[in-house]
A and B are shown apart, each in its own frame.
Chain A
Amino acid sequence: MRRNRLAVWGAFALLIGALSLVAAGCGGGDDEGSGSASTEIEGLGANLDEIKANAKTEGQVNLVIWPGYAVLTDEFTAATGCKVSTKDGASSDDMISLLQSGAYDGGSFSGNATVRLMANGDVAPIDTEFISNWDDIQEGIKNQDYNSRDGQAYGVPHGRGPNYLMFRTDQVPEGTDSWNVIWDDDQLAKYKGKISIYDDSIFIADAALYLKATQPDLGIDNPYQLTQEQFDAAVELLKKQAPSVGEYWPGDVAKQIQSYTNGDSVVGTTWPYQYVELQKANVPVAIVKPKEGTTGWSDTWMVSSKAEHPNCMYLWMDHMASPEAQAAVAEAFGEAPVNIKACDLTKDKSHCDTYHADDEAWWDDVYYWTTPQADCADDDDSTSCVTQADWQAAWTEIRS
């Protein structure tokens, strides 16, 4: 009996030891995020004709996507010979770990993922010469800090949208145009238990954005790069809000749609997708971009630096920038397309107007998701900001 027990513990200790060795081995091989801006990927053709020819031999492309982002795949396969296989990501963090697994050629990523992917060297810079639709993509979206580094493009823009304020028109006054309905004391008391909030640490930026408008003394400029003092003020605001929140929706759109349908939630923050779905179901809801501005997202197709099928991936990025694919995906999600030629192809001819696709001034006060960084993502060495890890820790405490 005693000997048996010893043997079991011995085996367990051996197993742990072996695993530690494996883990240590992995640790040694860590890449230093390379800063080189070479667009070369092993096996990628030197010009568009070569890429098209190579793609025929590759015959396959594996993508990490936001659910439903890959459209017109059959047409793409017919035109290029590349079969498309997709894997849905649950969150930006999830999509990062999927891409890092090395099983994918690329995917569609939001700004809070792209910044980390570029810094890690997980994605490769792209040669825009190979993207035939590149010139049709709006200039205002190119060369942003979430899709380029030092002026070098790292991907093809996909589409963008704001996080709207959404409310039931039968419960909340029609002309509502301020975020104060989810932040002010008297409003919190009024809508207690009926407020719907996105359950992610990135929502701290929404509090910071409101403080930027209402407490200029704090000096908040970029709601994602906050000093400790600014961050603490945002967290305090969120802690004050928490008892009145009826529901936090963790990227789970079905949950929020159900709550608004039943009237359990009447006001809160949302993506255009839920609004489109609620409209279809004749639920009396309205969305607005409040006067304080809002947070939002601008997504980008990027190619993995270790892509197995880089040629098919380049063709795919070009495909998703085409007017046809842009029209299809923008309308399904209530996004603004980034290729304005798509506006002639949407079923609803007013889609681009509704979603302000070509109204660059409208997007001035939309702050796209990005990753909080210790150096405040600027060139000023004297500033220091609260990191992503601290945002995450604070969010757990806010939720209590």
Chain B
Amino acid sequence: MTSVAMSEPPPRQGPGRRLSTFLYRHPRVRLWALLAVPALWLGGVYLGSLAYLLLASFWTADPFTAQLVHEFTLDNFRRIIETPVYRDVAWRTVKMAALVTVACAVLAFPLAYYMARIASTRMRNLLVVAVLMPLWGSYLVKAYAWRTILSGEGVINWALGPFGVEFDGYSNTGLWLVFTYLWLPYMVLPVYAGLERIPSSLLEASSDLGGRSIRTFFSVTLPLVFPAVVAGSIFTFSLTLGDYIAPGLISSDQFIGTVIYREYGTALPVAAAYALVPIAIIVAYLLVARRLKAFESL
């Protein structure tokens, strides 16, 4: 037994062994074998469906059966550009996305700062859990819960009642509150990570050089953490831009998502053309974000 174990084992010549040798000698094949599934997913399923969407926006739908007619036309783009309602809805959606992003940033920054620089480890862990917790609940349940909160008989109006104020919750103001609630964690986490990465030595150096806390904040902390805020804003902005469920539940105005959702059934090409609007906005947003070095904070 011992003599066998000590001697050199004969090289096995099974198929597994041969495959492994082959892969070892051909690193490119190895790489592609590893990447095949993700590449197919990203290229075929993800980009492929986007490309199909782009194509569909140049087609028309039969006015009766709503079947796609594969004839090239620019009518869909003409319609979404020339009909005022599509412009109004796009502008309303962008404004909402911007306001939600600002609100999230204003709320997230002090919280993230406290978590990263002041709180004890125990407190910090507690807060991280508290920030993440709402993400565990179903989106729909939260949206419906907000409908109850914002109702004329809801808790907000109950609290405002004694002051003689009546708040119209099912409005764009109400929707702004709901979006800010829903997307806040997506802002807190990158800002928290960004703040935590700032070395304490930089802050100490600032105070050594005579910088007061306000000066340190504006000259050191803020510039360093700004890319992280932009990174967070990518989430809050794009999530607001594409959402159709919360607007449908809370506001009686239309948003880009609700228009697309209603039109895809009978007017798929128009919906496809309109879907390119948020894509174009987000691409522009990402280009700006890249300039602001936000991608390094993701």
Taking Cβ atoms with an 8 Å cutoff, the residues of A that contact B are 11-12, 15-16, 19-20, 23-24, 26-27, 30, 33, 91-94, 96-97, 116, 119-120, 193, 199-201, 245-248, 250, 252, 254-255, 258-259, 262-264, 371, 373-374, 387-390, 392-393, 395-397, 399-400
Contacts and interface: CB of A to CB of B under 8 A. Distances in A.
Interface stretch (B2-10, B18-26, B102-110, B248-256): B248-256
23 contacts: A11-B43, A23-B52, A27-B70, A91-B265, A92-B265, A93-B266, A193-B168, A201-B266, A250-B248, A258-B147, A258-B148, A264-B152, A264-B153, A388-B63, A388-B64, A389-B63, A389-B64, A392-B267, A395-B262, A396-B254, A400-B85, A400-B88, A400-B254
Given A19-B55, A97-B265, A396-B254, A262 B64 contact: no
B254 A23 contact: no
Q: Which of B55, B154, B168 has the largest count of A CB atoms less than 10 A from its CB?
A: B55
B260 to A, nearest CB: 10
Given A248-B252, A393-B267, A255 B51 contact: no
A255 B147 contact: yes
Q: Interface residue tally of chain B, by bracket?
A: 35 or more
Contacts of A248: 252
A254 B86 CA distance: 28
A396 B85 contact: yes
A393 B267 CA distance: 8
Given A254-B144, A390-B63, A396 B70 contact: no
A108 to B, nearest CB: 17
Interface string B206-236: 0000000000000000000000000000000
A252 B261 CA distance: 13
B269 to A, nearest CB: 10
Given A119-B65, A262-B153, A374-B64, A388 B266 contact: yes
A374 B62 CA distance: 11
Give the top 10 A-B pairs by smallest Cβ distance, nearest first.
A93-B265, A27-B70, A389-B63, A387-B63, A262-B151, A392-B266, A397-B85, A262-B153, A16-B51, A116-B65
Contacts of B252: 245-248
Interface of B: 43, 47-48, 51-52, 54-55, 61, 63-68, 70, 79, 83, 85-86, 88, 144, 147-148, 151-154, 168, 170, 248-249, 252-254, 259, 262-267, 270
A96 B65 CA distance: 10
Given A248-B252, A258-B148, 15 more contacts: A15-B47, A15-B51, A20-B55, A23-B70, A24-B70, A91-B265, A116-B66, A120-B67, A259-B151, A262-B148, A262-B152, A387-B63, A388-B66, A390-B63, A392-B267
Nearest to B267: A392
A94 B52 contact: no
B266 to A, nearest CB: 5
Contacts of B55: 16, 19-20, 23
A399 B263 CA distance: 13
A255 B253 CA distance: 16
A373 B249 CA distance: 32
A389 B75 CA distance: 13
Given A255-B249, A264-B170, A373 B254 contact: no
A199 B262 CA distance: 9
B151 to A, nearest CB: 4
Contacts of A20: 55
Contact of A15 (B48, B64, B68, B249): B48
A43 to B, nearest CB: 26
A301 B279 CA distance: 40
B54 A16 contact: yes
A94 B265 contact: yes
Nearest to A254: B144
Contacts of A387: 63-64
Contacts of B270: 393
